[in-house]
Structure 1
Amino acid sequence: MTMSITELDDETVHNMSIGAVFSDFVGKISSIDFHRTKDLLVTASEDDSVRLYDIANATLLKTTYHKKHGADRICFTHHPSSVICSSRYKMDSNDESLRYLSMYDNRCLRYFKGHKERVVSLCMSPINDSFMSGSLDHSVRIWDLRVNACQGLLRLRGRPTVAYDQQGLVFAVAMEGGAIKLFDSRSYDKGPFDTFLVGGDTAEVCDIKFSNDGKSMLLTTTNNNIYVLDAYGGEKRCGFSLEPSPGTSIEATFTPDGQYVVSGSGDGTLHAWSINKRNEVACWNSHIGVSSCLKWAPRRAMFVAASTALTFWIPNYSKLNAESGAADVDAGV
């Protein structure tokens, strides 16, 4: 169904189109995540469902429902059938704000208590059993899958957003006023080793991603501005502004080669830009309204966009071959 990521170029990205649609959700999809090494995707939705997909064949493998806690933010652990999921309902420090779930037999393997309000950012370390959560209670908590108790706590201003780099050595925390703080994962208790400011934009950062090579950082703000920063010095490499989307945070994603950025927009379109050329490569109709979730598959020429439906986007080979096809027609073949 999908081609390898080494073949990405402007034409391939421009000719991406919808290859599969899943529209059986009741309510918005709030979070999606790809497994790092397996062809799997997991979604969490307002209908309290967690769904597991095979992305190589675009098939739904499993659905579990979580009526008591709901399903909000979600990410894979290293195991292909285990996920961490944040709760949507009942939130105080005595409630299970995070759950370690087995999709295989629909069991909760561990509860994690501590956050007093909704978790808005969640990410798993790529190298060990650590994971991080950022909450509207103005805290970032660091956890270990094997232990119930919180392993580390950072208190800060504003809505926190967290991300590990692809090597798991550094993590970034965004906070009020466009400040991005970088921490050494092994000695975060010593405080940040660097702080960047997104110049001139004081909107809160609602999403951070590192490129696979660790050289770039992608920020999405609550007013739908997107920035690509140099991950070492913090300089802005490029920036893009999108239509506002009141009540819905959009998400942007790097392609695995770090050459392109793809994002949703408040007018229901999707956009792709070349980072090096700083130009728009594609603009598509999402066909599903404003996309609240958007991620590119780690090892595939594929991205997934979601709102109240889930869409798989892949290269359209008929479009890619259209020029040679047109030549055949003109020749009377």
Structure 2
Amino acid sequence: MATAPITELDEETVRSMSVGAVFTDFGGKITALDFHRKDDLLVTASEDDSVRLYDIANAKLLKTTYHKKHGADRVCFTHHPSSVICSSRYNMDGGESMRYLSMYDNRCLRYFKGHKDRVVSLCMSPINDSFMSGSLDHSVRVWDLRVNACQGILRLRGRPTVAYDQQGLVFAVAMEGGAIKLFDSRSYDKGPFDTFLVGGDTAEVCDIKFSNDGKSMLLSTTNNNIYVLDAYAGEKRCGFNLEPSPGTPIEATFTPDGQYLVSGSGDGTLHAWNINMGTEVASWNSYIGVASCLKWAPRRVMFVAASTALTFWIPDVDSQGPSKNEAAPQSEHPIKQ
């Protein structure tokens, strides 16, 4: 079912978000998820070694593949709707840290060798076949889907986190001490063209995202802080502190119009803020405990939150969504918008 492109959200719509569908058949925590940029598709990776493909227009599971040899840790779509890049959880002795997978026929199209430790950040260029990975081996590697060999390496301190901007011209690398370095994706070998510091916070950054318009960057840190920075000047636009979530880094997400921010929290709640005003708009019971993954769909009024279950959140036009005391719907019914 097609929906018109999102132009701008309002606070009433954000406040009305409620659970529209739930999938509970995972045999472990969901470790990563990603929306396709142009198709109504979602992919998840889970501790039960599964990679799952969903039709988000109808809240329908399309395909499940299992990867017992290497496991499934980080995952992101390529430009093709049924192809993904997936990082390994174990059996990395041979350096097979990532795989290029076809969900259509459950084939591995290519292995990517190089990282010596777990990949903790993975992102695909929005404009070409390049992708980046950040690993606990203190390196960021640049790859091309068409070639097995790594195309470039950045060595750094700490746990690296990587993200492309929506135009694919710039990528950001967050590293030890709260430093954010910006690179020109066409000439990254010349070093960063700018470096930002999140003033007063030297915690490691566990997630970084650009807004769709490229004007803002979203950072979440290991000490439960979320910041929105001006992507050009590095100045802090707003910041929020959340309840601690030991062992589960908090993920936050921009709405497609860049006006609002949604995040999980260590107490099992979800929160939404107005970025321009710096004020909280809504707070919800997540129904699934602490959300390990959280992302807003690029072209829909919808976000997903995940832990050991996957929940689809949509506007409750009848204002009769599950209340704080009601159970969320345990169904796979089509999502109505």
| Pairwise same-fold verdict (TM > 0.5) | yes
Does the CA contact (< 8 Å) of 1:2 and 1:302 recur in 2?
no
The match for 2:250 is: 250
Shift in alpha-carbon separation, 1:2–1:38, aligned structure 2, 3 A: closer
The match for 1:306 is: 306
Aligned mates of 1:234, 1:204 — CA distance in 2: 17
Does the CA contact (< 8 Å) of 2:52 and 2:62 recur in 1?
yes
Aligned mates of 1:7, 1:192 — CA distance in 2: 33
The match for 1:64 is: 65
Query: Residues 203-242 of structure 1, C-alpha deviation per residue, up to 9 Å, x if partnerless?
Result: 1000000000000000000111000000000000000000
The match for 1:34 is: 35
Q: How far 1:320 sits from its partner (Å)?
A: 8.8
Q: Where has structure 1 moved over 4 Å in runs of 4 or more?
A: 1-4
Q: How far 1:8 sits from its partner (Å)?
A: 1.6
Aligned mates of 2:182, 2:131 — CA distance in 1: 16
Q: Which runs of 5+ in 2 are unaligned?
A: 322-337
Aligned mates of 2:239, 2:319 — CA distance in 1: 29
Aligned mates of 1:217, 1:91 — CA distance in 2: 32
The match for 1:184 is: 184
| RMSD, aligned CA | 1.3
Matches within 5 A, 1:12-91: 12-91=13-92
Query: Residues 24-64 of structure 1, C-alpha deviation per residue, up to 9 Å, x if partnerless?
Result: 00110000000000000000000000000000000000000
Matches within 5 A, 1:216-227: 216-227=216-227
What letter matches 1:279 in structure 2? T
More helix by share: 1
Matches within 5 A, 1:95-244: 95-244=95-244
Does the CA contact (< 8 Å) of 1:11 and 1:320 recur in 2?
no
Identity score, percent: 87
Aligned mates of 2:92, 2:138 — CA distance in 1: 14
Q: How far 1:6 sits from its partner (Å)?
A: 2.8
Q: TM-score, normalised by structure 1?
A: 0.94
Q: How far 1:319 sits from its partner (Å)?
A: 1.6
Aligned mates of 2:116, 2:213 — CA distance in 1: 35
* SS in structure 2 at match of 1:37: coil
Shift in alpha-carbon separation, 1:54–1:118, aligned structure 2, 3 A: same
Aligned mates of 1:120, 1:309 — CA distance in 2: 21
Return the index of the structure with the highest Cα Rg: 1
Aligned mates of 1:281, 1:298 — CA distance in 2: 20
Q: How far 1:250 sits from its partner (Å)?
A: 1.3
Query: Residues 151-174 of structure 1, C-alpha deviation per residue, up to 9 Å, x if partnerless?
Result: 000000000000000000000000
Does the CA contact (< 8 Å) of 2:131 and 2:142 recur in 1?
yes
Query: Residues 233-277 of structure 1, C-alpha deviation per residue, up to 9 Å, x if partnerless?
Result: 000000000000001111000000000000000000000000011
Aligned mates of 1:6, 1:155 — CA distance in 2: 39
* SS in structure 1 at match of 2:257: coil
Aligned mates of 2:2, 2:239 — CA distance in 1: 29
Aligned mates of 2:9, 2:174 — CA distance in 1: 30
The match for 1:265 is: 265
Q: TM-score, normalised by structure 2?
A: 0.93
